[in-house]
Amino acid sequence: MNLKLIKLSVVVQFLVILVACNGEKNVKVEVTQENNKPNILFIPIDDLRPELGCYGNDLVISPNIDKLAENGVVFNNAYCQQAVCTPSRTSLLTGLRPDSTQVWDLRTHFRTYLPNVVSLPQFFKNNGYYTVGLGKTFHNTLQDSIAWNEYLHVDGFPFDPDAVYVNHDNIVEQKELELKRLKSGKAKFDKYGFIYSKTRSSEMGISEDDAYYDGAQTTLAIKKLKALKNSKTPFFLSVGFYKPHLPFNAPKKYWDLYNRDKIPLANNQYTPKDSPEFSIHGDAELRGYVDAKNNLPKPNEAPWDEDKQRELIHAYYACVSYIDAQVGRLLNELNQLGLAENTIVVLWGDHGWKLGEHNGWGKQTNYEIDTRVPLIISGNGVKSKGKTSHALTEFVDVYPTLCDMAGFNVPEHLQGLSLKPVLEDSEATIKDAAYSQFLLGRYGPPEARKQERMGYTVRTDRYRYVEWYTWNKNKNVPEQLIARELFDHENDTQENYNIVNNPEQEVLIKQLSNKIKEGFTF
């Protein structure tokens, strides 16, 4: 395809969305509880892989999320739009893909380019719902105040509370680091008087649940649920959990659920054969911790020490079980208050996370391990309860789904499709492809930032196909096609072998390339 047409189409797409969003800003419909509109309990979970009991993992202990799944639909083939926090959450919460929001990194706020876009909670706020946010719904440092009637924070915790330590030695180490950074002028206080600093990549906390932020905010969310019960209007309550995001800190009782010696390690600790070297990069996030920065191997090096691997996987699973317990507390309260029958519960993880797969320890790739996500929709209006759907779905589908289920017209500018047909019949399908992308070159060591590259990927029932382009960061457009990848999930579910150079795949590659250009409106 002519590169001028590609560039023009990206710009045109952005302008169409801009106009549509400007038109949406005053949409409002009167809603009261008498109209019997369903409440919405929204549960984002950071860095959660689709490895839970309800996803077929017998090792991970997640009884409360599994129970939620029994009352809803588990989406087994759900994909985020980009495997990093801000772009992923922005796409879900605006119903728009990253090329439309212009958000491809951790620093850009979607309102920079789309100031009048109506976010998902804002839509419900505009239409008569009382919206309350706790924790991490939008990216934690890029909040959206106009989306909420109330945005709550637990007293005594930092503005960004993911790096909270409770054990004495770790607290001392953290405070020594903070003092060092203050003396060098490299630290600043947040609005609550804390300095954000991270030291160890995991902690077996000698503490109760509420010593960490996720437990404490669950206690606050339960109090808020009790108040919302008496409201005359339906509510949209989002409780965004930080774990299992790094550092993998959780109370000891959740670590005790697992036998570290029996935790299996990834069996594909190598980069995909015949894929471009840059497609798996150096896990910059984990390298920011003192116990990993000097010994974590790069993807093309020998795998990490097995004891360290087991320690980190053990810590991750402990965090998953810790969050599962908090989800259970929320759901129990919902039931005790008599709110469960008229509440839609949406639980989702913003992207995947590598635990040694492809010799990586992080997210931020275009591969299945990072783009496939957990998504469970349960409760009111779900007819196909206790079922698993294998339909291809995307995060941009969540916004139109909730509008549809709540009885509102779906805004026309949204780029996803309602999942309501799948919630009524788990065998239904709504699309034949899911799309993700990743902008490489804004993260990692200096050598990785010399050239920005955009990888566009399409996932069909059988294949994942990726096209890599050089990226013009001044114009925000793709330019030269520099690499391609093709994986056959019928024969290679882990995406270990790039078969794009197989002459037999020529016709298929052309079809999938056209599919990418359809999905991203090249």
CA distances from 183 to 176, 178, 188, 291 (A): 11, 9, 11, 23
- Which parts of the chain register pLDDT below 70? 1-35, 282-283, 444-445, 447-448, 522
Determine which helix (DSSP H) or strand (DSSP E) holds 378, and give its type and residue range. strand 375-379
Q: Is 139 a catalytic residue?
A: yes
Alpha-carbon span 406 to 427, nearest angstrom? 22
Nearest to 321 by CA among 59, 11, 521: 59
In the structure encoding, which two tokens stand for residue 350, read together?
Answer: 């913003």
The pLDDT value recorded for residue 71 is: 97
Considering 21, 80, 109, 139, which one is annotated as catalytic? 139
Alpha-carbon span 119 to 105, nearest angstrom? 18
DSSP reduced 3-state for 149: coil
Q: Angle at Cα 514 formed by Cα 510 and Cα 518, nearest 5°? A: 170
Q: How far is residue 60 CA from its own chain's centroid? A: 19
Phi, psi of 169 (to 5 degrees): -65, -40
Q: What is the pTM of this model?
A: 0.93
CB atoms within 10 A of CB 111: 17
Neighbouring C-alpha atoms within 13 Å toward the C-beta of 257: 22
Does residue 453 contact residue 468 with C-beta atoms inside 8 Å? yes
Alpha-carbon span 110 to 116, nearest angstrom? 10
Query: Which phi-psi region, left, alpha or beta, contains residue 504 (left: φ > 0; alpha: ψ -120 to 50)?
Result: alpha
In the structure encoding, which two tokens stand for residue 389, read together?
Answer: 């759907």
Alpha-carbon span 338 to 8, nearest angstrom? 53
The residue written with tokens 């077996």 in the block is 204
CA distances from 436 to 98, 141, 306, 477 (A): 9, 23, 32, 16
Does residue 14 contact residue 102 with C-beta atoms inside 8 Å? yes
Alpha-carbon span 227 to 339, nearest angstrom? 12
Q: Is 85 a catalytic residue?
A: yes
Phi, psi of 96 (to 5 degrees): -125, 150
DSSP reduced 3-state for 199: coil
Does residue 247 contact residue 201 with C-beta atoms inside 8 Å? yes
Nearest to 66 by CA among 299, 503, 386: 386
The pLDDT value recorded for residue 142 is: 82
Helix 213-229 crosses helix 306-336 at what angle (to 10 degrees)? 10
In the structure encoding, which two tokens stand for residue 220, read together?
Answer: 């606050």
The residue written with tokens 């805004």 in the block is 411
Q: How deeply is 431 buried, as exposed, middle or buried, from its count of CB atoms within 10 A (0-12, 13-18, 19+)?
A: middle
Q: Angle at Cα 50 formed by Cα 46 and Cα 55, nearest 5°? A: 145
The pLDDT value recorded for residue 17 is: 56
Alpha-carbon span 219 to 226, nearest angstrom? 11
The pLDDT value recorded for residue 46 is: 98
Q: What is the DSSP letter of 292?
A: T
Q: Angle at Cα 327 formed by Cα 364 and Cα 75, nearest 5°? A: 55
* Secondary structure (DSSP) of 441-468: TSSSSGGGGSS-EEEEEEE-SSEEEEEE
Pairing of strands 343-349, 375-379: antiparallel
Determine which helix (DSSP H) or strand (DSSP E) holds 306, and give its type and residue range. helix 306-336
Considering 21, 54, 80, 85, which one is annotated as catalytic? 85
Does residue 401 contact residue 418 with C-beta atoms inside 8 Å? yes
Alpha-carbon span 412 to 306, nearest angstrom? 51
Amino acid letter for position 281: H
Does residue 38 contact residue 234 with C-beta atoms inside 8 Å? yes
The pLDDT value recorded for residue 141 is: 78
Render pLDDT for 303-358 as a digit per residue (tens, 0 to 9).
Answer: 999 999 999 999 999 999 999 999 999 999 999 999 999 999 999 999 999 999 99
Amino acid letter for position 265: L
CA distances from 380 to 5, 39, 41, 169, 422 (A): 45, 9, 11, 47, 14
Query: Which phi-psi region, left, alpha or beta, contains residue 382 (left: φ > 0; alpha: ψ -120 to 50)?
Result: beta
